[in-house]
Structure 1
Amino acid sequence: MIDQIPPVVPPGRLRELAHPVYDLPGGLLLRPWEASDAPALVAACLDPDVQHWTYPGLLSTAEAEARIAGWRTRRQDEEAAMWAIAPADGGLPVGLIGVRELDLPGGSGEFLYWLLPAGRGSGVMTPAVDRISRWAFEELGLHRLRIIHSVANTASCRTAEKAGFPLEGTMRGALLHADGWHDEHLHARLRTD
């Protein structure tokens, strides 16, 4: 009989963890999304860069509130964990970061992130990716995190490399964008890196 490999992260681990809040440079912080943040999500869906790279679709305020509620459900279901990148002194988020496609038994997940124009150029995404990586490895117990982005998205590539996610390869024609099929870069970081 073949011994079963135990799960890297036991079921229920993400549900047990509090949703942490972390300080970031530039007077920003990582915090859970709230229903009152819906206008920022609506704005992201209208932003041409966010639309081009992540294609979230257009959302009404009610639909944005439902999506935010869905993120809470997905966290409880141990499928994803999302944070708002927001001013520490209050106000609407300027970005989003999260780990989705969580495979707790296999110990992996994939980053999702974007910034609105108010957050771009601030250098905040690299420390945000690093902070959430450390949470995912040290608190949640994952083994591997990945970042996948269009090869044309040079800003995301820089963020991945600066955050300690070396390029592992290129996936040809891997994702359909509005302007056609894009090759995608695959970056990854291990707990042991």
Structure 2
Amino acid sequence: MHTTATHLTAGTLTLRPWSPRDAAELAELHRDEALRRWTSENVHDEAGAARWVTAQQRGREAGDRFSFAVQETPQETPGGALGEARAPGTGARLVGNVVLKYADRGSGSAEVGYWTAAHARGRGVAPRALGALADWAFTAFAHEGLVRLELLHQVDNTASCRVAGKAGFTLTGILPAAPPAFPLEGHAHVRHAPPAA
């Protein structure tokens, strides 16, 4: 079972398992109204964030939910100064979450999800993180026959359509509304494993 503390990279992004030390920053990120609108996570304060992190750790231990905190490390410009990502002297900052939901092990299919922090939107964080997650999933679970990943979102979440396309997911269909999780129709995007070499 893949319960190790896997770290993935995508340029300046690092994907790592969530930790209890992330609770305060996670609670702060969830003050964003747009983030609360598009996610179903019950994070209203630091205690709620700590419970959410614990749930992610349990999912990893069970082998059916692999959630990664996405961090961005400041990138130095050619002149040596830090870019706009962070002020000088500071380190990596949480910019989002990606998750592989793999409850039906051996089915050949799993679902992915993500969210991006307000301060990191519009910079390609989500497509890069989803791409790294998909590459890892297809490699880590190839022996189980994982060949298909789905990304689902409400039809009015046009930003998620753009993210899906940039991350290599193709729109394959419309899903009927399924309240309360999906009060409106949804889009289903799919990415298939690359052909074996």
TM-score by length of 1: 0.82
Q: Whole-Å Cα distance in 2 between the matches of residues 23 and 137 of structure 1?
A: 15
Q: Partner residue of 1:187?
A: 189
In the aligned structure 2, how far is the partner of 1:78 from the partner of 1:51? 26
Question: Alpha carbon RMSD of aligned pairs, Å?
Answer: 2.0
**Alignment length, in residue pairs?**
176
- Give the structure 2 partner of residue 35 of structure 1: 20
Larger proportion of strand: 1
Considering Cα pairs closer than 8 Å and 6+ residues apart, tell me whether 1 or 2 has the greater RCO: 1
User: Hey, what does 2:5 align to over in structure 1?
Assistant: 19
Q: Show CA shifts across 1:56-88 (max 9, x none).
A: 234321221122122111111011001111133
Which amino acid counterpart does residue 118 of structure 1 have in structure 2?
H
Structure 1 residue runs of 5 or longer lacking an equivalent are 1-11
| Letter matched to residue 128 of structure 1 | A
Distance 1:175 1:45, change over 3 A: farther
Q: Secondary structure at the match of 2:6?
A: coil
Residue pairs, 1:11-90, within 5 angstroms: 12=1, 14-15=2-3, 18-25=4-11, 27-88=12-73, 90=91
1:159 aligns with 2:176: no
Gaps of at least 5 residues in structure 2 are 75-90
- Quote the residue 1:149 is aligned against: 153
TM-score, normalised by the number of residues in structure 2? 0.80
SS in 1 for 2:118: coil
Q: Percent identity?
A: 31
Tell me, in whole angstroms, the C-alpha distance in 2 between the residues paired with 1:181 and 1:100. 21
Superposition misfits of 4+ residues, deviation over 4 angstroms: none
Where do residues 109-188 of structure 1 align in structure 2 (5 Å cutoff)? Answer: 109-141=110-142, 142-176=146-180, 181-188=183-190
**Secondary structure in 1 aligned to 2:124?**
coil
Distance of 1:32 and 1:109 partners within structure 2: 19
